[in-house]
Amino acid sequence: MPVETRLWDTKSGGWLSRWAGAVSTPPGGLYPSFGTLPALDPSALVASGDAVTWDSLKITGDSIAVSTNPDGGYFYAYGEGTFQSILNRCPSGKKVVFPPGIHEINEPGWPNGDGAAVQVPKTCAGTIGNAPPGTGWDDLKPTTIRTTFRVKENTAPLVNVAGGWFKWGYTGSLRADFANIHFEGTEQGMQTSDGGNIGQSGIATTNHRLFTNFFGWNQAQGCTARDCLSTGWSGANGAPPGETFGYEWYHSTGGVVARLYSDGRRASGGPIYGAVGFTLGDAVNCVAIDCYSHHNGFAGWVHYVTSGCQTYNVRLGDPTDHTTAHVTLNYTNGDWLNHELTNGNVHYAPTLNCYAVNKAAKESISHSGRAFSFTQDGLTCDTTNGTLEIVDPTVVTNLGNGSEVWISSWSPYDGQTSTYADGAPRPIVRKSDGTLVPFRWNYGPGWVDYN
């Protein structure tokens, strides 16, 4: 039986039930009992009947060219439309377990689900690879042949839209699980109306396109993603990109992500391509555990239109992120923790590596404050004067001036003046024992020292 995990509610000062299905530990002190999501064993899922194998879904006539990969695994090159056709055969309510190797997907025009290269069927309960891939190009497990998904280069439709373009999409009514997959970014030559490109050497200045390696949208309550790696998604090498993401987790209530890693590069020591590692959006009471987002051109982690969401041990950035790439491209700083239209978000034990090239944008944490409300799964949430709490932060920064934690609440945001003022609920930065930690806050008039 799943063990119900309980989290600390900062408003009521008590423990609240947030989600079921994770393994919990007894609560202690002022820390919540996050527990973790156990790793998923693909063989056990098949043996229990909860999953079917990918090979069992194939039929005569499927166009798949198989060759040996240099790392000892196999390279599967799928013919046009073949991958999606096989995935559509998943029996209702079952997960699909994939074999190791590189699976190159060829879906010209990306017709699925608002432009997804692959749309996981709504009746599919998730996709599972053979083994966790590691935390990035510098830590890909060398002795394990991983399950890697990537889209064939330059198969994205070259159109000028500000819409959603995703590699791997899921919109479903089932509680689904995704695990043990490396989502590898490839060049897609994404064009803008002024003739620029988002990609290896292009410039994007006007009509930006969303582009995401993994995208969850309108999910059933309690969906999970764990032990995945997203690398090198199109979008940040050359100039400010469109809004491109390693992961997007949207329209979720009680969703849990654990051990998700994003690396914006396409090779160890290579340039940064991806803009943002992870975005949680239109989400209520979601939890992120032990995630690591690094080598991003811009924010490492984003909460966009969220309420009551919490993270534990999320690590953002690496000291090597902001050297050559950021000096050459004149990025102000990357891998920071960003919030837009949020309320009740708490981050426990985050690690922030924040390096500003020109120190024009000094924040290690950004925060918006205009009046806004949204509804998710029947629950209406208000972000006006939204609260933000940071517990036991570790910050490595070159910002200086006697403070490590810099929080900037944008004003104006989206054309409206910030609702914050000195007497409004300012952010809380504290240790787990309740001791307040000094920080700097700018809600409009300039940087002010608090605590």
Q: What is the CATH number of the domain that holds 437?
A: 2.160.20
Beta-strand pair 147-151/315-316? unpaired
Tell me: cis bond preceding 412? Omega within 30 of 0 counts: yes
pLDDT-wise least confident of 83-87, 124-128, 296-300, 360-364? 360-364
pLDDT greater than 90 at residue 164: no
**27, 77: one domain:** no
The contacts of residue 223 (CB under 8 Å, 6+ apart) are 170, 172, 175, 176, 177, 178, 216, 252, 255
Full DSSP string of 278-328: EEEEEEES-EEES-EEES-SS-SEEEEEEES-EEES-EE--TTTTSHHHHH
**20, 142: one domain:** no
pLDDT digits (tens, 9 = 90+) for 225-234: 999 999 988 7
The one-letter amino acid at 394: T
Average pLDDT, the chain: 75
Domain that holds residue 316: 38-450
**205, 312: one domain:** yes
Looking at residue 3, what DSSP letter applies? P
**24, 96: one domain:** no
Counted domains in the chain: 2
Beta-strand pair 379-382/373-376? antiparallel
Entry field: residues in the chain: 451
More confident residue, 296 or 393: 393
Single pTM value for the model: 0.85
How crowded is residue 200: how many other Cβ atoms within 10 Å of its Cβ? 14
Q: What percent of the chain has pLDDT over 70?
A: 67
pLDDT digits (tens, 9 = 90+) for 273-314: 788 899 999 999 999 999 999 888 778 899 999 999 999 999
> Mean pLDDT throughout 110-114?
54
Residue 201, token pair as written in the block: 């050497």
Beta-strand pair 64-68/74-78? antiparallel
**384, 246: one domain:** yes
Nearest to 200 by CA among 133, 103, 139, 267: 267
Tell me how far apart the terminal alpha carbons of the chain are, to the nearest angstrom.
44
> Mean pLDDT throughout 434-445?
82
CB 210 within 8 A of CB 165: yes
**256, 322: one domain:** yes
- Residue 154: which region, alpha, beta or left (left: phi > 0; alpha: psi -120 to 50)? left
**67, 43: one domain:** yes
**104, 157: one domain:** yes
**1, 114: one domain:** no
Query: What does the alpha-carbon distance between residue 266 and residue 270 come to, in Å, rounded to a whole number?
Result: 7
CA distances from 318 to 129, 140, 293, 355, 398 (A): 27, 16, 9, 9, 13
Query: What does the alpha-carbon distance between residue 119 and residue 330 come to, in Å, rounded to a whole number?
Result: 36
* Strand, coil or helix: 48: helix
pLDDT of residue 245: 86
> Mean pLDDT throughout 320-326?
51
CB 224 within 8 A of CB 259: no
**152, 178: one domain:** yes
CB 15 within 8 A of CB 8: yes
pLDDT of residue 106: 83
**22, 95: one domain:** no
Nearest to 412 by CA among 330, 305, 340: 340
**106, 16: one domain:** no
pLDDT digits (tens, 9 = 90+) for 202-259: 333 333 456 788 888 888 888 899 999 999 887 644 334 456 789 999 989 889 999 9
pLDDT greater than 50 at residue 170: yes
